[in-house]
Amino acid sequence: MLIRPIDYFLVAWFALGAASTIYVGIDQYRNNPEPAVMKWGFILVTLYMGPLGLLLYVLADKEPRPGEHEEFIKPLWKQGAGSTIHCVAGDATGIILAAVVTAALGLPMWLDLIVEYTAGFAFGLFIFQSLFMKSMMGGTYWENVRKSFLPEFISMNFMMAGMAPTMCFLMMGRDMRAMVPTELLFWGVMSAGVIAGFVMAYPWNVWLVSQGLKHGLMTVRKPESKFDMAVTNARRSSDGDHGSTHEHNALEAPAQHGAHAHTMQSSVTPAQLAAVSGVSLLALAIGMIAPANWVNLRLSAHQVGGVIMPPGMIMDRDTPAEAMLDMAAVDPRQVTALHGLEERGGRELMPSVENGVKVFSLTTSVFRWTILPGVTVDAYGFNGQVPGPTLRFREGDRVRIDVTNRLPETTTVHWHGLILPNIMDGPAHITQEPIENGQIYHYAFTVVQTGTYFYHSHDHVDRQQALGLYGVLIIDSATPDASLAADHEYTLQIQEWLKREGLTYPAMPMDGAQPNFFTFNGKAFPSTDTIHMKVGETLKVRMVGSNNGFIHPIHIHGGPFQVVARDGTTLPPAARFSADTINIGPGQRYDVIWKALNPGKWLIHCHIGHHTTNNNVETNGGGGLMMIVDVGP
């Protein structure tokens, strides 16, 4: 699934890479007089580096016209490119294979780097250099291992010095899908790492070639093959094609480029070799160790692979996996349903009755919830709605709530403010073990209170409640109080959302996680509800702090209201007071009664200006935590 813009880029990049690799492979075997090891070197490097590999092949190695390969590849920069090609082809293959294995095993990143270096060096030295180039170098296999060891060591060190930090910072950055081999981004990071490694190793390979320590590009024209210029010239003569006069000059040397060994003479001094080796080790140490100052290399793909962090979140070497998992975006691939703007949250859930017990069924799931026209959030919710269903009890009821978990993580439910048996209270690992995906937990108790309460997740609370896992509880009194009656009643549940770059993150009052959308009952103004009433009628508003982060000063226009209950407890008449703004903190509830004194459209809204915008934008006079009370005459 293509989740972020980088995914679309990578699809195009790998499509170009595949086309480039096919072209290089076909052209190498049809048209380029080169040893097989170099043919495969360019094929593998183009596979890893995409169009850049094709560019290197065309500029440095592809024979421009028959018979000109020897002359074409003579410049030192091209010889250095060829040396780097067969270094990178072998080393990168070992590194990539090791990265796949270490990710599958769940090794921490610091150990991953060590395994990758070891595998890359071993594959490059023992397979690609000493074995595949044995016919080019002459001598026995172990003689070639000995001769290749130091040049391969130097080249590999510089390559890994470029590749290691590239992989660390990209894999341990915001989008840690890069740690998972089944994700396209993993292969994008591998490609970027190989490119960085090539750039870092190239100048040193130029030096190694210039000192006769490594092979560069070569030409092979086996007798009687299609690259044998005698055969080519004979064909041209028979066709009446005499060719151009410069061709035969380019054919004076091909005999030395047959199947014979390519010997090298080196003039490098021991001091020079020791200095370059030491610098390569220093570069390797910096590349492998320095990232640990900025990213947590103790983490593995099993711990955080696949999660995407919010933009602007501060992540450092001490950020634990648990924090990343709680802060991560909802994976769009986990969404099971889409609910449009017409869907409303907080709908009252009717119970069944079993042996005198009222039974309610709640199911958690991941779904896409529309808060504004064209604006959706990927939410966690109960019964496919945000807020979850309203549960209405009566004082003295015996109730059971069956909670089925369909989230990609464990959960529990806490019944905020209720007096009940401790085992039914809901905190994960304290009063109960969390509910695993697919499991059901039965909460049962007798209702002994009255008033406004709410329920919410109590496992990964900062994540799950912030993503919509909450709902209201209304408990009616067995002996109604006439002073609390009103002509209309409305329950108002507050929520904060963080939506960036098409992904939904749990909003929190911390760097990188500040909310940019706000909702009353799952909708943002101008899509919030409108309450219709007449002059002289009264409205009871149950204000519920179902949000996680901020205190919201809720204000009603058109005259004061009377505060009649707080946190589920009815205030005695003498303790009731008038106000036009009341601060609703997370977890708090206030019941207020407002009387319509004049006709018109009167606002209920949060008095923090930013909370009445949608991603900092006002629409039709506002946004976010706003709704209208439309009073007729």
Average pLDDT of span 561-579: 97
d(CA 81, CA 87): 10
Q: What is the pLDDT averaged over residues 122-135?
A: 76
Average pLDDT over residues 132-160: 81
Lowest average pLDDT, out of 35-44, 241-250, 262-271, goes to: 241-250
User: What gap in Å lies between CA 604 and CA 619, rounded to an integer?
Assistant: 16
Is 50 exceeded by the pLDDT of residue 308?
A: yes
Please give the pLDDT value at position 238. Answer: 60
d(CA 73, CA 42): 14
b or e along 532-542 (b: 16 or more beta carbons within 10 Å of the residue's beta carbon)?
Answer: ebeeeebbbbb
The amino acid at 503: L
pTM: 0.87
Of 118, 119, 109, residue with least CA distance to 171: 109
pLDDT digits (tens, 9 = 90+) for 51-109: 999 999 999 999 999 999 999 999 999 999 999 998 899 999 999 999 999 999 999 99
Cα separation, 541 vs 183, in Å, equals: 48
Mean pLDDT of 116-124: 93
Write down how long the chain is: 633
Q: Is pLDDT above 80 for 242?
A: no
pLDDT digits (tens, 9 = 90+) for 344-374: 999 999 999 999 999 999 999 999 999 999 9
Give domain limits for the chain.
9-233+272-304, 338-480, 494-632
* pLDDT for residue 337: 96
Stretch 587-604: mean pLDDT: 98
Cα dihedral sign, 350-355-356-359: negative
Confidence (pLDDT) at 425: 97
Q: Residue with structure tokens 């706003």?
A: 626
Tokens 């991953």, located at residue: 112
- Collapsing DSSP states into helix, strand and coil, what is residue 75? coil
Report residue 582: phi and psi, to 5°: -135, 135
CATH of 338-480, one of 3.20.20.370, 2.60.40.420, 3.40.50.980, 3.20.20.140: 2.60.40.420
Indicate the pLDDT class of residue 325, thresholds 50, 70 and 90: very high
Across the chain, mean pLDDT equals: 92
Average pLDDT rounded to a whole number, residues 250-277: 65
> Which one, of 178, 217, 182, 184, lies nearest residue 77 by Cα?
217
Same fold, 338-480 and 494-632: yes
Rounded distance between C-alpha atoms, residue 38 and residue 127, angstroms: 13
Q: Residue 286: helix, strand or coil by DSSP?
A: helix
**Structure-block tokens of residue 146:** 């000995």
pLDDT of residue 126: 82
Whether CATH 1.10.600.10 fits 494-632: no
Give tens-digit pLDDT for 487-505: 999 999 999 999 999 999 9
Cα separation, 557 vs 541, in Å, equals 13
> For residues 120 and 113, what is the distance between their CA atoms, to the nearest angstrom?
10
**Alpha-helical regions (H) of 387-514:** 461-464
